[in-house]
A and B are shown apart, each in its own frame.
Chain A
Amino acid sequence: NAGVMQNPRHLVRRRGQEARLRCSPMKGHSHVYWYRQLPEEGLKFMVYLQKENIIDESGMPKERFSAEFPKEGPSILRIQQVVRGDSAAYFCASSPPIGGGRNEQFFGPGTRLTVL
C-alpha cells in the first residue's frame, strides 16, 4: 500500500517563475492537506481539499498561491511568480473519510522549494 507521494522532491526556481507541486494521497484517502514549513519552524496549515472542492484555504496567502484536487489525478499546489520568501518545505498529508472524530493525517516526503 503506497503512502502519500509527492513530486518533485526538490524544486529550484528563479524569482518570477512558477512552481507546481504535486501530491497523490494514500489509496482510499479522499482528503488532502498542504502545509508549509520554514527551516527551524513549525508546520503551517495552508489548505484542505477534497475531490474537486476546497474546504478550507484559510492558511493560503491571498495572492500567487492556489490549490486544486481534480476528480482525476493528483492534488496540485501552484505558486506563481515565486519570491525568495517562498523557499520552504511543502508537505502534503492525506486522511481517510472523516468519521467518529478521528482525523489521522499521513504525510508525504515533502517538496523542498528553493527560489534563487
Chain B
Amino acid sequence: QKEVEQNSGPLSVPEGAIASLNCTYSDRGSQSFFWYRQYSGKSPELIMFIYSNGDKEDGRFTAQLNKASQYVSLLIRDSQPSDSATYLCAVNMFGRWDGGYQKVTFGIGTKLQVIP
C-alpha cells in the first residue's frame, strides 16, 4: 500500500463547476496535511494546509480532513481554466520521528483540467 495515494487523473471539469480532489494516507498517526499546486514546468506551490478534522476554507478552496477515514480532500469551487494544474497531496507522517524530524510524503498528484 502506498503511503499517500491519489488518482493521477486527469480529472476534467467544466468551467464554473466544483472540482473534488481526493487523497488517502496510510499512517493513522499523521498530523499535518498539505495541498500543493504545480503548473506544468513549474515548482509546487503550497495552497492549503490543514491539521484538524473538518473543513478549512480559503477563498475558492476548501480542504477537508477526516482522520478516522484517513482521508483528505480539496474542493475548488467555481473552477477556472487557470486552475488547470497538478495537485499534490502531502502528509506529515507522524510515525517517522527522530529528534524533531517528521517526514513529509507526497502523493503522485492529480492532474486537473478545467474545460472552458
Contact assessment for B106 and A101 in the assembled complex, using a CB-CB cutoff below 8 Å? no
Q: With A and B bound together, what is the CA distance between A109 and B43 in angstroms?
A: 5
Q: Does B115 contact A (CB under 8 A)?
A: no
The answer to whether B77 has its CB under 8 Å from any CB of chain A is: no
Find residues 4-51 in chain B having any chain A CB closer than 8 Å to their own CB. Answer: 31-32, 34, 36, 42-46, 49, 51
Q: Does A17 contact B (CB under 8 A)?
A: no
Q: Indicate whether A69 reaches chain B with its CB closer than 8 angstroms.
A: no
Residues on the A chain within 8 Å of B43, using CB:
91, 107-110
A15 to chain B, nearest CB (A): 24
- In the complex, A106 Cα to B46 Cα: how many Å? 7
Complex contacts, B106 vs chain A, CB 8 Å: 35, 42-43, 45
CB distance from B70 to the nearest CB of A (A): 16
In angstroms, how far is the closest chain A Cβ from the Cβ of B38? 9
Which of the residues B42, B102, B107, B108 comes within 8 Å of A103, measured between beta carbons?
A: B102
